[in-house]
Structure 1
Amino acid sequence: MKLAGLAMAAPATAAQILQQAAAEAMEFTQQAESTSLGSGTLDHLDLAVTEFNHAYSLKPPKAVFDAVMDYRRKVNGLLKAKHTHQQERELLAFAGWLSELLAWLAHDLGDARTGLAFATDAFVHGQQAGHGQLCAWAMDASASINLYEQRPAKARSAALRGLTEAPADHPLTVRLHAQAARAAAADGDTEGFTSAFHSAQDAHRLLPPRSPRRFGMDVMPLADYALTSYPATSFIWLGQAEQARRHAEHALATYEAAPETSRAPSREAIARIDLAIAHAQLGDPDDAVSLGHQALGSARVVDSVRHRAGDLTSFLTRRYPRQSAVEGLREHLAALDAAARPALPAAPSGA
């Protein structure tokens, strides 16, 4: 090493060695700060991710998917370029947030494989960025996608994995407990549903007065929806129609009372379908058909809405096989299914 003989060197030589070492230290610092990122790149990405999250419930999912995928590729390129360690952590987080949104959009477009791939990508990038909350959001997406793919055990596992990363006093914790409850109900596990749903209620009571925000959006409604809409679906699966009706009515009232900026048309449509199925189970097919048409008239009829509407029409057809109104609802759904094709094209892998 250059300083190994410093103590034995002549004064002039020692001074030269120290001067050279100081110059090298400056080079080390410049290397650590060296980056090819423009000064406003990270701010631009933050604004873009914010706008994409706001657009999610307002614009057609295919258009949003294409725009978000374009940015995900750009971030992949930035991660391969020169940047500082701190910038890398921020880029990894932005990559994860974009992939989390792509997971939901792929799910909305009916491509579970792509959705789960992006949920996994979001989780991995969250881990690399040291961002536990991002990991938890990724597992929330994975839980929903697996549930709609009729894989309740995997959905439950994803929810529990998310709970290991989510802050205890965050609305996401409420949602993940409710996800686990819904998965248990889908598996016919009444005790598991009851236990997980009580955990969701307990977590909701512990939330702070001021709700956290995600890219400028209040996330408290997501916890409120999970405590009303998820049990409505769960009680349908558990064959408890009256309980399902009560929770579905509460869920629908919660959605309708939300500020316009917080409305979620697809979730509201699913609440109407839950209420419709409850009415059908209770012997009221006319209201069930009417609610079904209202749901399919939503501004955002994504794959999950059509999937649940299929559950409704299948039940109505079995229970009330000779009613023309039921056939009309089936035709309404068939037309929407046809309009939704072609399916989402496969996305190339990112970083």
Structure 2
Amino acid sequence: MQEAGKQSSAAHPGPWSAPGGEANVTGTTPSSPVHDVSCGKRLREHALGRAGSPGVVPPELVVAIAVEIETHCGHHRLKCRRLAMAWTVAQAVEAAHDLVERERLPKVGLAERSWKDWEAGHPPSADYQDLLCRLFATDPVQLGFANDYSPRSADPLWNGPKANATLPAGQASASGTSPDTGAEVDETKRRDAVKLAGLALAAPAAAALILEQAAAEAMEFTRQAEATALGSGTLDHLDLAVAEFNHAYSLKPPHLVFDAVLDYRRKVDAMLRGNHTHRQGRELFAFAGWLSELLAWLAHDLGDARTGLAFAADAFTHGQQAGHGQLCAWAMDAAASINLYQHRPAKARQAALKGLTEAPADHPLAVRLHAQAARAAAADGDADGFTTAFQAAEDAYRLLPPRPPRRFGMDIAPLAEYALTSYPATACIWLGQAEAARGHAEHALAVYESAPAASRSPSREAIARIDLALAHAQLGDPDDAVVLGHQALDSARVVDSVLGRAGDLAAFLTRRYPRQAAVEGLRERLTAAAPAARSTPPVVQ
């Protein structure tokens, strides 16, 4: 997950309170050094030893350890809680995703970099604060996200601010900028800072003046670097929106999702043109890329290959700008599928290989891209190329870790499994290997139908039925082929890829069995289904 738009810590102090009562985003006095995480680990081990090394650490002991780490090490309270649990950042993120899944909370796109930003003193949005409070069974004050203005209590983590303390971080103005937003740093002042090199030759009074000017200059440099037009919570909101759009992809009509995603894509483009920090710019480039990657698939579903490929290319470019290799690889996965359905197997193969240069070898996406290359080879009539690439996909599948990574809070391991089951069925159809195609298609259909309701993909099931129908047709059984074709068109999500494959089935049946009335009935139904399924094609202005 990405964090909210950041404010200058000098202008908007965070919710922690130093011993003297002044707000401080790190929870330490300015002169207090922040200790290494190994120090917190040692404190935890000593505390557990004093408690008799319990097998299950009780909540009250976790709180006590967090207090000790805070007092001794000076970390943000969220980090203190994480260290008290003996979690790495990756384990904390995984625990949050597990909580979302276990309690059926709205999907989130939480990532490690966002957690690290929170621990650096940049508060998350209200939705993510609620998730973290659920995770640690506490409240925002105890995690360092808010101030408690009530009279001093017995709470061991209480640090009351002075009566005139400023607002907690995240409650600043919506613009996120200081009042002097248009000020430019004077070039003469910048040159004055260079005079520090000659301090050894300067008189004491002159040296003191130069240092004073340089201090003011450094503060202005910091303010300029953190100046942003993004409101507090903007990036968190985008993170949640992208996760929700991806969750809705298989559940809602593609033309409705396309319109909503395109609106957000335009908004992110406007944000990129506005005032933001370099770090926020990288986050915005990534959001733009993810939205374009989803738009590529939606355009493909709506039957507009040109728009789909344009958005896939845009997603790749923005992924490069964000330094996000996996995003680039996902973009090429979309480009490979779109080219394949446009009967351009060479282009599809190129896209898959390009994506493989960006995808980690032990990631489900690597399995999928190898399988894409195999399917493209089959579409090109290259049986040996199919065998080699599909073997690489199976090898990559064996490299997957026990708990593969998530994408926008969703398990992506099934995407690798689907590629290994459905792609060979389609490939064998194209290679004329009907018996092998039937076996692969039956297996793929069984896998799809046994998936949990929330993970089922109606369009993938429909394509598996069409693959099975084509296998039956090639083996001389047109009646079963027609029945399976009708079942595919009964799908809850008849998108363009389903229509295209159904068209292949109808064309094959017409050539092989031209006098079959059932075949003509399937053709008529397909002709009627196409306009309703495709709905209104996307229009990008």
Query: Which category of TM-score, normalised to the shorter sequence, fits these structures?
Result: over 0.9
Report deviation, 1:221.
Answer: 0.8
Counterpart position of 1:156:
349
Report deviation, 1:341.
Answer: 5.4
Counterpart position of 1:28:
221
Q: 2:309 aligns with which of 116, 120, 127?
A: 116
Does the 8 A contact of 2:509 with 2:519 survive in 1?
A: yes
The 5-angstrom pairing of residues 236-275 of structure 1 reads 236-275=429-468
Whose helix proportion is higher, 1 or 2? 1
The 5-angstrom pairing of residues 182-331 of structure 1 reads 182-331=375-524
Structure 1 unmatched ranges of 5 or more = none
Please tell me whether residue 54 in structure 1 is matched to residue 247 in structure 2: yes
Counterpart position of 1:39:
232
Counterpart position of 1:96:
289
SS in 2 for 1:89: helix
Please tell me whether residue 65 in structure 1 is matched to residue 65 in structure 2: no
CA distance in 2, matches of 1:203, 1:233: 20
Report deviation, 1:34.
Answer: 0.8
Does the 8 A contact of 1:277 with 1:288 survive in 2?
A: yes
Q: Letter of the aligned partner of 1:151 in structure 2?
A: R
Q: Letter of the aligned partner of 2:288 in structure 1?
A: A
CA distance in 1, matches of 2:373, 2:312: 17
Please tell me whether residue 131 in structure 1 is matched to residue 324 in structure 2: yes
SS in 2 for 1:78: helix
CA distance in 1, matches of 2:522, 2:512: 14
SS in 1 for 2:211: helix
CA distance in 1, matches of 2:245, 2:421: 26
What TM-score, normalized to structure 1?
A: 0.98
CA distance in 2, matches of 1:343, 1:294: 24
Report deviation, 1:339.
Answer: 2.0
* Compared CA separation, residues 341 and 164, structure 1 to 2 (3 A): closer
Q: Letter of the aligned partner of 1:137 in structure 2?
A: W
Does the 8 A contact of 2:303 with 2:534 survive in 1?
A: no
Report deviation, 1:108.
Answer: 0.2
Report deviation, 1:338.
Answer: 2.7
CA distance in 2, matches of 1:163, 1:182: 15
Report deviation, 1:346.
Answer: 2.9
Does the 8 A contact of 1:248 with 1:275 survive in 2?
A: yes
* Compared CA separation, residues 43 and 341, structure 1 to 2 (3 A): closer
CA distance in 1, matches of 2:538, 2:246: 22
CA distance in 1, matches of 2:445, 2:532: 26
Counterpart position of 1:75:
268
Does the 8 A contact of 2:441 with 2:467 survive in 1?
A: yes
What TM-score, normalized to structure 2?
A: 0.64
CA distance in 2, matches of 1:183, 1:342: 28
Please tell me whether residue 332 in structure 1 is matched to residue 525 in structure 2: yes
Counterpart position of 1:347:
540
Counterpart position of 2:43:
none
CA distance in 1, matches of 2:536, 2:390: 35
Q: Letter of the aligned partner of 2:360 in structure 1?
A: P
Q: Letter of the aligned partner of 1:245 in structure 2?
A: R
Report deviation, 1:37.
Answer: 0.7
CA distance in 2, matches of 1:271, 1:179: 16
Q: 1:16 aligns with which of 209, 233, 249?
A: 209
Does the 8 A contact of 1:76 with 1:95 survive in 2?
A: yes
Q: Which has the larger radius of gyration?
A: 2
Does the 8 A contact of 1:178 with 1:230 survive in 2?
A: yes
SS in 1 for 2:508: helix
Q: Letter of the aligned partner of 2:335 in structure 1?
A: S
Does the 8 A contact of 1:110 with 1:343 survive in 2?
A: no
Report deviation, 1:6.
Answer: 3.0
Does the 8 A contact of 1:111 with 1:343 survive in 2?
A: no
Deviations along 1:113-146, whole A, 9 cap, x unmatched?
0000000000000010010000000000000000
Deviations along 1:29-82, whole A, 9 cap, x unmatched?
111111111110011001000000010000000000000000000100111111
Does the 8 A contact of 2:365 with 2:416 survive in 1?
A: yes
Report deviation, 1:205.
Answer: 1.0
Task: Count the aligned residue pairs.
Answer: 348
SS in 2 for 1:188: coil
Does the 8 A contact of 2:495 with 2:534 survive in 1?
A: no
